[in-house]
Structure 1
Amino acid sequence: MSDDYSAGSETNPFQNAKVLIVEDNPDACALIAGILWLKGVECIKAQSVEESIDNAAEAERIDVAVLNGRLAQEKGGFLVARLKELKPKILLFVITNDDSDRARVMQLGCDEFSKKPISTESIADKVLALIAKGAATPSVGSVK
């Protein structure tokens, strides 16, 4: 998905999407937010579990959360459970240092997993795919 859309473009299929980025490294957080912004996605940044929960509670909607693997698994997966509780339709993408974390984070309720190192373009592609997946999933009780 190498198409670049300017933020707010009328032809951008992702212009109403909101992504929560939970990353304790401010540079990595800014890089991810920047590439998603170029795709037209609105990003909410958080650098801790507490900040991410506060941001999720305040946001009207969040389509996807990109989670640092260590933060996602902290306190037995508290962040994952709390985000799912606050935003039941949220899709979660976890990026970790270790491939052995895959089974654990998927069991916690995550929808996508990648091992570091991963390029920001690959992160953006996976996030955009999750946004599209979420948009294609009918709401409970809706008729298509």
Structure 2
Amino acid sequence: MTRILYIEDNEDNIYMLTQRLTRHGFEVSIASDGAQGIDMAIRERPDLILMDLGLPALDGWAATRQLKHLPDTKDIPILALSAHTMPGDRDKALDAGCDDYDTKPVVFERLLGKIDALVRKRGLP
């Protein structure tokens, strides 16, 4: 079972996406801010991280940079999920270390395809 850490501060987004991912066979853990997400990633070593970029306190860009510099988490794929859809936002996320980028509201089938591609790239079933 693929383990996903979802770092998100919006309760509606958490509920909706967690329910859908769980129904598709994923095990989902939730962190509500960047600092908690880093701690959980180090402790749990998920197969993939879904990272909201607009987090309070430690935003998703800073959290991603930290995760990609830590030996224990640098190889975990990070998929940015963001309402930031201005030109350059995707590049900014990739420059921070995200492995892919998708927009909110989430198009679930597209998101599943991106999750599948990142998990397969890492060599996980």
Q: Report the counterpart of residue 71 of structure 1 in structure 2.
A: 55
Q: Would you say how many aligned residue pairs link Structure 1 and Structure 2?
A: 119
- Contact 2:51–2:80 (CA under 8 A) maintained in structure 1: yes
2:65 is the alignment partner of 1:93: no
8 Å contact kept, 2:5–2:28: yes
Q: Which has the larger radius of gyration?
A: 1
Deviations 1:103-142 (A, max 9, x none): 1111111111122232233323322221122116xxxxxx
Corresponding position: 1:121 with 2:109: yes
TM-score scaled by length of structure 1: 0.72
Pairwise CA RMSD of aligned residues? 2.2
The structure-2 alpha-carbon separation of the partners of 1:76 and 1:26, relative to structure 1 and needing over 3 Å to count, comes to closer
In structure 1, list runs of 5 or more residues that go unmatched.
1-14, 137-144
Name the counterpart of 2:90. 102
Note the C-alpha offset of 1:30. 2.1
Q: TM-score when scaled to structure 2?
A: 0.81
Q: Does 1:20 align with 2:20?
A: no
Q: What's the CA shift string for 1:6-59, capped at 9, x where partnerless?
A: xxxxxxxxx2x2111011111211222222212211111111112212211221
Equivalence for 1:81: 65
Kindly, what percent of the aligned residue pairs are identical?
26
Q: Secondary structure at the match of 2:49?
A: strand
Structure 2 unaligned spans of 5+: none
Q: Which amino acid aligns with 2:94?
A: M
